[in-house]
């Protein structure tokens, strides 16, 4: 099969488009013919500095497609079925193997391209808001990096749950594209101070919950934006900065900072069911899967470079 591979970490130009052996089907797994690769923020971070588990390495968490092989011990999936899948690596290819547990059937009529982009961003957003963030109707939530894949999902799920939604992004254009998704107030953090803006918007109370996929200096602004008893779901390091923050404001206000990692939950029945629910809800049009742009798989380098140029809102796909 063809795959976008790399032999060393680095900038997007480390990608090469090569022939590699087809993946083998594990007795408890499936192999899919990939119809769409949803490039995750974690894929760009892994390309930059993640471990090369295979060599050449095929990066990538998330892809959707049609099952072409089913392991001998798998009874609930069949050849020809459309599924969306998540695994630690291997999405940037024509074929990918995953544990059967990490494949979610896609309802008939739901575009596989959209389905490919649901599990990680929406599953992560759901866990940040509800399982770990305990968001309730009437609360105010701050979504850092609102235009990210996780951010676009979190804005919609928070709004649907009856929360007031504030989001940050690096430009007014990006914030404009978040309004139709349910964002109540946008903060362009390149122009305006996030903490001051949050305090102004909340009558100096602060927000009840922050979803923070950026870390570093952004995480510091998240801590300083919290209301009394406010919570943070810290879920990523998109800012690529050291996580050196002053946590002292947490104690004085009975505030909390919780790390969230979907990967550690994804094999549980709870997370599996949650992701299937989100796939089904997306198929019914209950929220929007935002696809910014698609590239051919052989242009993986250009697609990663585009994401890192900070122009994308939502997801960028690769099509084999």
Ligand X SMILES: NC(=O)c1ccc[n+]([C@@H]2O[C@H](COP(=O)([O-])OP(=O)(O)OC[C@H]3O[C@@H](n4cnc5c(N)ncnc54)[C@H](OP(=O)(O)O)[C@@H]3O)[C@@H](O)[C@H]2O)c1
Interface positions with ligand X (CB under 6 A): 40-42, 45, 120-121, 124, 145, 147-150, 169-170, 174, 213-214, 235-240, 260-263, 307-308, 310
Judged by CB, which is closer to ligand X: 227, or 260?
A: 260
Q: Rounded to an integer, what distance in angstroms lies between the CA atom of residue 81 and that of residue 77?
A: 7
Residue 6 DSSP class = B
Q: Supply the minimum distance, in Å, between the C-beta of residue 123 and ligand X.
A: 8
Contacts with 138 (C-beta within 8 Å, 6 or more apart), sequence order: 162, 163, 164
Judged by CB, which is closer to ligand X: 90, or 121?
A: 121
Q: Supply the minimum distance, in Å, between the C-beta of residue 200 and ligand X.
A: 20
Q: Supply the minimum distance, in Å, between the C-beta of residue 67 and ligand X.
A: 25
Judged by CB, which is closer to ligand X: 147, or 210?
A: 147
Output the CA torsion 292→37→142→164 (10° steps): 70
Judged by CB, which is closer to ligand X: 91, or 148?
A: 148
Q: Supply the minimum distance, in Å, between the C-beta of residue 9 and ligand X.
A: 15
Question: Of 304, 301, 317, which is closest to residue 121 (Cα–Cα)?
Answer: 317
Give the sheet arrangement for strand 226-234, strand by strand: 185-188, 164-169, 140-143, 207-212, 226-234, 256-259
Q: Supply the minimum distance, in Å, between the C-beta of residue 4 and ligand X.
A: 17
- The number of beta carbons lying within 10 Å of the beta carbon of residue 211 is 36
Question: Of 203, 280, 194, which is closest to residue 239 (Cα–Cα)?
Answer: 194
Judged by CB, which is closer to ligand X: 67, or 301?
A: 301
């Amino acid at each position: 099969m063809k795959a976008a591979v790399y032999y060393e970490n680095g900038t997007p130009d480390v990608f090469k488009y090569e022939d590699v052996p087809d993946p083998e089907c594990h007795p408890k797994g499936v192999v899919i013919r990939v119809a769409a690769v949803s490039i995750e923020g974690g894929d760009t971070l892994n390309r930059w500095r993640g471990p090369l588990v295979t060599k050449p390495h095929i990066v990538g968490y998330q892809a959707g497609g049609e099952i072409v092989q089913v392991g001998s011990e798998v009874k609930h999936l069949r050849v020809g079925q459309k599924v969306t899948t998540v695994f630690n690596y291997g999405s940037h290819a024509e074929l990918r193997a995953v544990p059967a547990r990490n494949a979610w059937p896609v309802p008939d009529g739901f575009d596989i391209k959209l389905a490919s982009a649901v599990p990680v961003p929406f599953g992560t957003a759901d866990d940040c808001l509800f399982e770990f963030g305990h968001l309730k109707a009437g609360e105010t939530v701050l979504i850092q990096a609102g235009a990210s894949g996780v951010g676009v999902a979190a804005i919609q799920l928070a709004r649907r749950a009856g929360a007031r939604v504030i989001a940050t992004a690096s430009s007014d254009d990006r914030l404009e594209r978040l309004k139709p998704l349910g964002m109540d107030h946008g903060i362009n953090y390149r122009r305006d101070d996030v903490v001051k803006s949050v305090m102004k918007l909340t009558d100096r109370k602060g927000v009840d919950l922050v979803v923070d996929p950026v870390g570093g200096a952004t995480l510091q602004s998240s801590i300083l934006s919290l209301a009394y008893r406010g919570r943070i779901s810290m879920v990523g390091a998109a800012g690529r900065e050291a996580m050196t923050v002053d946590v002292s404001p947490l104690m004085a206000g009975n505030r909390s900072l919780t790390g969230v990692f979907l990967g550690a939950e994804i094999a549980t029945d709870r997370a599996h069911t949650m992701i299937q629910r989100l796939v089904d809800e997306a198929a019914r049009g209950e929220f929007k899967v935002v696809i910014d742009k698609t590239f051919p798989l052989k242009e993986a380098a250009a697609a990663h470079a585009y994401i890192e140029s900070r122009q994308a809102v939502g997801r960028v796909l690769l099509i084999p």
